[in-house]
């Protein structure tokens, strides 16, 4: 028999050099991957937290997830938690103030309307136009307060405590019929195109407000002599409602901003058309509360298209 070959010869003889290099590369690569993931984990945690905060979730906290990281990273995580907590407190204070002020304004407005009616009865006919103007303004203010209260309720996540099966098709048909009467007074019309049969589980009153705000907004801005078109389609468990006007449209950079409370693309034009600047904000929050989404885009041949997508009930 030949001489016994030592196992260590594998690491010495030149014939095994390629295998040795391959083993070194594989082991080094695995160690590098594991080390890189370990070192980058705090960054991934912080990045995920900032993305959630940017999307509106201020309940995110990262201190516990960063346990074991270096001191600077842990300190950064604590600072981020304090920042999120402070922003959440400020927003809650703002919402509470808005809600309380809106509630407090309701009573003085009611008393003002009663006093106005009493003074109207004792005044000469020539001041009637002034009283009409005061009445219109108080009604507008009362409507704005009502919308502020609705918006405040939606922003706190309330409104879905009690749900019901809503026939979306019947609701849209009724709202189109109501809007057609208002449109006729402004020299335009509202027509219902596609009307697929679909239903969903949700708050019927919130859905009514959400859709009505979009349709009435379209009626305000569509050109006289044109028609607002409403289409309802249902496919793949999603109901899509599209409302298209024939107005001036919205600048591309402002399409995402029109759902912000009190945002106005053109202040003079918006005030001339009426409205409070809160309607589309209520629409977006009501749709989000139902698990849906809202999108606005300019039509190729003019006008604005607002699409509401909501989860539909199978077989609805």
Does residue 70 share a domain with residue 176?
Answer: no
Does residue 168 share a domain with residue 83?
Answer: no
Task: Quote the CA–CA distance of 204 and 212 in Å, as a whole number.
Answer: 12
Does residue 278 share a domain with residue 189?
Answer: yes
Does residue 203 share a domain with residue 71?
Answer: no
Q: Does residue 73 lie in a domain region? A: yes
Q: Does residue 283 lie in a domain region? A: yes
What is the reported pLDDT for 289? 86
Q: Does residue 132 lie in a domain region? A: no
Does residue 294 share a domain with residue 171?
Answer: yes
Reference 192, options 213, 176, 179, 180; nearest CA is: 176
Q: What is the DSSP string of 113-150?
A: HHHHHHHHHTS-GGGHHHHHHHHHHHHHHHHHHHHHHH
CATH number for the domain harbouring residue 261? 3.30.565.10
Which position has the token pair 């516990």? 64
- Tell which of 39, 60, 87 closes a domain: 87
Does residue 186 share a domain with residue 76?
Answer: no
Does residue 171 share a domain with residue 83?
Answer: no
Q: Does residue 134 lie in a domain region? A: no
Contact 217, 275 (CB under 8 A): yes
Does residue 168 share a domain with residue 65?
Answer: no
Does residue 175 share a domain with residue 288?
Answer: yes
66-75: long-range pairs with CB below 8 Å, 24+: 66/42, 69/41, 69/42, 70/42, 73/42, 73/46
What is the reported pLDDT for 269? 46
Does residue 196 share a domain with residue 80?
Answer: no
Q: How many domains does the chain contain in total?
A: 2
What is the reported pLDDT for 215? 93
- Tell which of 87, 121, 151 closes a domain: 87
Extended beta strands in the chain, E state? 164-167, 189-195, 199-202, 227-235, 238-244, 293-298, 304-311
What string of pLDDT tens digits covers the 316 residues of the chain? Answer: 455 555 655 556 666 667 777 777 888 888 888 877 777 788 888 888 888 888 777 888 888 888 777 778 888 888 888 888 888 888 777 777 777 776 777 777 788 888 888 888 888 888 888 888 888 888 877 777 777 777 777 776 666 667 788 999 999 999 999 899 888 888 899 999 988 888 999 888 889 889 999 999 999 889 999 999 999 999 888 999 999 999 888 888 888 888 888 777 764 445 445 556 788 888 888 898 888 999 999 988 888 999 999 998 855 5
Does residue 170 share a domain with residue 285?
Answer: yes
What is the reported pLDDT for 27? 83
Domain, as residue range, for 216: 164-311
Contact 213, 189 (CB under 8 A): no
Contact 215, 175 (CB under 8 A): yes
Q: Does residue 227 lie in a domain region? A: yes
Q: Does residue 107 lie in a domain region? A: no
- Tell which of 87, 103, 137 closes a domain: 87
What is the reported pLDDT for 40? 75
Active site residues: 103
Q: Does residue 108 lie in a domain region? A: no
Contact 231, 241 (CB under 8 A): yes
C-alpha separations of 18 from 8, 14, 111 in Å: 16, 9, 93
Q: Does residue 213 lie in a domain region? A: yes
């Amino acid at each position: 028999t030949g001489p016994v070959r030592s196992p260590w010869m594998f690491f010495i003889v030149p014939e095994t050099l390629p295998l040795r290099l391959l083993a070194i590369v594989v082991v080094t690569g695995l160690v590098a991957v594991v080390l890189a993931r370990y070192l980058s984990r705090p960054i991934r945690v912080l990045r995920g937290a900032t993305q959630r905060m940017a999307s509106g979730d201020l309940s995110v906290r990262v201190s516990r997830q960063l346990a074991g990281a270096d001191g600077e990273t842990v300190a950064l995580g604590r600072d981020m938690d304090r920042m999120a907590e402070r922003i959440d407190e400020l927003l809650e204070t703002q919402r509470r103030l808005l809600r309380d002020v809106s509630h407090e304004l309701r009573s003085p407005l009611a008393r003002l309307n009663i006093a106005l009616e009493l003074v109207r009865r004792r005044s000469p006919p020539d001041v009637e136009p002034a009283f009409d103007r005061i009445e219109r303004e108080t009604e507008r203010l009362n409507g704005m307060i009502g919308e502020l209260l609705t918006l405040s309720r939606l922003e706190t996540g309330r409104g879905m405590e009690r749900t019901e099966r809503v026939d979306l098709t019947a609701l849209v048909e009724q709202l189109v019929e109501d809007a057609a009467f208002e449109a006729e007074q402004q020299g335009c019309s509202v027509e219902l195109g596609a009307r697929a049969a679909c239903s969903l589980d949700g708050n019927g009153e919130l859905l009514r407000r959400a859709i009505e705000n979009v349709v009435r907004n379209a009626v305000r801005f569509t050109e006289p002599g044109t028609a607002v078109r409403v289409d309802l389609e249902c496919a793949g468990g999603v109901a899509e409602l599209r409302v298209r006007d024939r107005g001036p449209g919205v600048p591309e950079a402002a399409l995402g901003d029109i759902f912000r409370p009190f945002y106005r693309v053109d202040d003079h034009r918006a005030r001339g058309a009426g409205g409070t600047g809160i309607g589309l904000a209520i629409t977006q929050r009501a749709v989000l509360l139902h698990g849906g989404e809202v999108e606005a885009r300019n039509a190729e041949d003019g006008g604005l298209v607002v699409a509401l997508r909501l989860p539909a009930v199978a077989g609805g």
